[in-house]
A and B are shown apart, each in its own frame.
Chain A
Amino acid sequence: GENVEQHPSTLSVQEGDSAVIKCTYSDSASNYFPWYKQELGKRPQLIIDIRSNVGEKKDQRIAVTLNKTAKHFSLHITETQPEDSAVYFCAALSGGSYIPTFGRGTSLIVHP
């Protein structure tokens, strides 16, 4: 089955800095990669996703890149703000499956 590794487990940055979270996956058949943000005690929310037919996707301060050859994808947050503080989960799904495999999560702390 799929295995998703996520790093780092904790990331601490100053407000205004950039943050990068990296994930690797094992199943070359995986073709959909969502990122979820979970604030303390709240539900995970989809913030951005990418499909395997593109290499990069941006949405304002958030971007995701995908390297299919190396089987890794990354979340980039620029100009971080304290409200970006949360746990971020990456996930991978293959075309034939609707069940995501989640990474272990990254706790992002943005210091004002």
Chain B
Amino acid sequence: GAVVSQHPSRVICKSGTSVKIECRSLDFQATTMFWYRQFPKQSLMLMATSNEGSKATYEQGVEKDKFLINHASLTLSTLTVTSAHPEDSSFYICSASGGGASKNIQYFGAGTRLSVL
């Protein structure tokens, strides 16, 4: 099946620093990439959807200046948490869909656990 690589798997940073998370589709071209946030024992909360070469579409309540998303190519999307604070600590997961007949199927990255001190 399709493989999505997400790095880093874990980040511990000081409050006020920015953190970049990468999401790569390794063996397919990802028409669309998704970024989710997941709190302990809760569901996946969609933060934003991005298509290659265009601006990301953010869900209501998600600060686009706080969570910068770049989808520069069909295989790479990045999420940058700017000026991170302890309340940004969470599990962030990306996913990608390949478009066409498989556009409905999402392949998830392994997630990034962010801890802001």
**Residues of chain A at the chain B interface (Cβ within 8 Å):** 32, 34, 36, 41-46, 49, 87, 89, 93, 98-100, 102-105, 107
Is B108 within 8 A of A45, CB to CB? yes
If A43-B93, A44-B93, A98-B32 touch, whether A34 touches B108 (CB-CB below 8 Å) is no
When distances are taken between beta carbons in the complex, the residues of chain A under 8 Å from B111 are 41-43
Is A43 within 8 A of B106, CB to CB? no
When distances are taken between beta carbons in the complex, the residues of chain B under 8 Å from A98 are 32, 97, 103-104
With both beta carbons as reference points, the residue of chain B lying nearest to A49 in the complex is identified as: B105
**Residues of chain B at the chain A interface (Cβ within 8 Å):** 4, 32, 34, 41-44, 46, 49, 93, 95, 97, 103-111, 113
| Bound-state Cα–Cα, A104 to B48, Å | 18
24 contacts between A and B (CB under 8 A): A36-B108, A41-B113, A42-B110, A42-B111, A43-B4, A43-B93, A43-B111, A44-B44, A44-B95, A44-B108, A45-B108, A46-B107, A87-B41, A89-B43, A98-B32, A98-B104, A99-B34, A100-B104, A100-B106, A102-B44, A104-B42, A104-B43, A105-B43, A107-B41
Other than the given A34-B104, A102-B44, 10 more pairs (CB < 8 A) read A43-B4, A44-B93, A44-B108, A46-B106, A49-B105, A89-B44, A93-B104, A98-B32, A99-B49, A100-B104
B44, B49, B93 — most chain A CB neighbours (10 Å): B44
| Bound-state Cα–Cα, A43 to B34, Å | 14
| Bound-state Cα–Cα, A5 to B104, Å | 20
When distances are taken between beta carbons in the complex, the residues of chain A under 8 Å from B44 are 44, 89, 102
Is A105 within 8 A of B42, CB to CB? yes
| Bound-state Cα–Cα, A29 to B104, Å | 14
| Bound-state Cα–Cα, A98 to B96, Å | 11
When distances are taken between beta carbons in the complex, the residues of chain B under 8 Å from A89 are 43-44
| Bound-state Cα–Cα, A104 to B105, Å | 19
With both beta carbons as reference points, the residue of chain B lying nearest to A107 in the complex is identified as: B41
| Bound-state Cα–Cα, A46 to B4, Å | 13
